[in-house]
Amino acid sequence: MRIEHGSTHEAVRRHNLSVVLRQLHVRGAQSRSELAARTELNRSTIKVLVEHLVTLGLVTEGGPDLRGTRGRPSQTVSVCPDRLAVMAVEIAVDSIAVATVGLGGHIHQRRRAARSPVHSEPEAVLGGIHQLAADVLPESPPIVGVGVAVVGVVRRADGLVHIAPNLGWRDVPLGELIRSETVGHLVPDGVPVTVGNEADLGILAENARGAAHGVDDAVYLSGEVGIGGGIVVGGRLLTGATGYAGEIGHLPVNPQGARCGCGGRGCWETEAGKRVLLQLAGVEDEPGADPVAQVMTAAQEGEPRAVRAVEQVGTWLGVGLAGLINVFNPELVVLGGMYGRAFDVLQPALNQALESRAMMTSAPRAGVVPAALGSDASLIGAAESALNPLIEEPTRADATAPGTGRRRPERPAAPLNLQA
């Protein structure tokens, strides 16, 4: 963010507070001298800003940093992860997760529940969120934000889920529903709620503290029942004209392919998603099991159907990925969800497809790596989104009351298979 000429001293100070807090949140503990170098602020300014953040309870200063420095050692500054937290929610096709996360990405409490896709009505999903939130909130710091990641096309301005084929949703006002069901009940009045597409939030998390950390141009694929995509260009999330960019799961790759839930034919996720993998391998998707792991193990053991399933899905994954690489020319591709978990087994077929289809230029082809944050990428991304208002305006911490205003849900929730 650039501070324009004529900005008030107060605006500059608040901006600089945000810059310092974000540095510590993303990069971890640093000395004052490191903060000065990385923010390009002088050391006397850093001293004043750090003291203010200490007063707000957002950072703490420890002992001197003695890592090979000459002269007077500088104190180490780090965030206080226990001062405040946000509630992060992930709504996937077959599970719901709720976590409380503090500054620095510290996860205080996390609960994930398997969920039958049959119970995908918004009311049932909200009931599941209530049940999980009631478990994690009592042991967490005061909540200052709620972030939600959902599989679907999301209007970020108000959290409207325009369409989520794998949930059977169309024009569901998820942001409004989450706000009415949690704010003032589970979390304090006035707490902001943000809703985003799970793959968009996945790339933000991997870019902030995962495999794509420090990479300005990257593509993230979230693969489960569907395929989600998040794209960072020039260090910024690609959102498109109406905020719906990245719906790459419905990229047509096979004109003779199967009919997709979106109404199209031969969409990428119908050729390379979880359903087709299990169907080809002859494995049932049973609640509480990990059928993808079963297929990967069987393929490694040479079971013919599993081998063919992995080869076919890996090939179609590479076909679609080659197109993305040709269009966006990313430095890195991060594979999340089942693709990250099965990376080693899928890699041979994937690489073969890429080598025959991705354009070779004078620059090396994009690297392809599994997600560093694993299945938590979207959940952590939801937390990052919810923490952003506090990081942008650290003085919000001044107004935080000690309590969280939470209470246990009063209505029954859909049955959940709880996991720690």
Q: What pLDDT does 244 receive?
A: 82
Q: What pLDDT does 2 receive?
A: 44
Asked whether residue 254 carries a pLDDT value surpassing 80, the answer given is yes
Give the three-state DSSP class for 267: strand
Asked whether residue 363 carries a pLDDT value surpassing 80, the answer given is no
Domain ranges of the chain: 9-79, 85-200+376-419, 214-372
Q: Decide whether 85-200+376-419 matches 214-372 in CATH topology.
A: yes
First-residue to last-residue Cα distance in the chain = 39
Question: 204-216 in b/e burial notation, b at 16+ Cβ within 10 A?
Answer: bbbbbbbbbeebe
**Considering only CA atoms, which of 19, 51, 59 is closest in space to residue 35?**
19
Asked whether residue 220 carries a pLDDT value surpassing 80, the answer given is yes
Q: Which CATH number fits domain 214-372: 3.30.1390.10, 3.30.930.10, 3.20.20.150, 3.30.420.40?
A: 3.30.420.40
Residue type, 348: P
Cα 153 from Cα 45, distance rounded (Å): 43
Fold of 85-200+376-419: Nucleotidyltransferase; domain 5 (3.30.420)
**Considering only CA atoms, which of 156, 273, 258 is closest in space to residue 223?**
273
Q: Which residue has the tokens 């589970």?
A: 186
* pLDDT tens string 45-91: 999 999 999 999 999 998 665 555 555 666 899 999 999 999 999 99
Q: What pLDDT does 285 receive?
A: 84
Output the CATH code of domain 9-79: 1.10.10.10
